[in-house]
Amino acid sequence: MGFQRQDFEDLVRLMDSIGATDIVRLIPCTDTMLEAPLSAALSVEQLPPYEAPRLGTRRLLLLSGMHGSEVTELIAAYREAGACSSS
């Protein structure tokens, strides 16, 4: 949530480069999803189309169901890649 299209695409490429796309789904959050339980967003069959965030929306990346070591690896790769350097 809160990511510009290019930032989201960069994150998808980063996840692919570390082999995480086989085990982690990136689901772009829509305004409609914010009104429903998290379980509804996590169970979507087809990914929703990208929606540009409203001005001033903070970035949020929810890492649900990941082990601590996986989260640490992802954050390290994110920082190393300089992902979302526009922040």
What pLDDT does 83 receive? 61
Q: Which residues of the chain have pLDDT under 50?
A: 87
Predicted pLDDT at 84: 54
The pLDDT value recorded for residue 87 is 45
Is there a contact between 27 and 41 (Cβ–Cβ < 8 Å)? yes
- At 69, which helix (H) or strand (E)? helix 68-81
What per-residue confidence (pLDDT) applies to 57? Answer: 86
**Burial of 15: CB neighbours in 10 Å, binned 0-12, 13-18, 19+:** buried
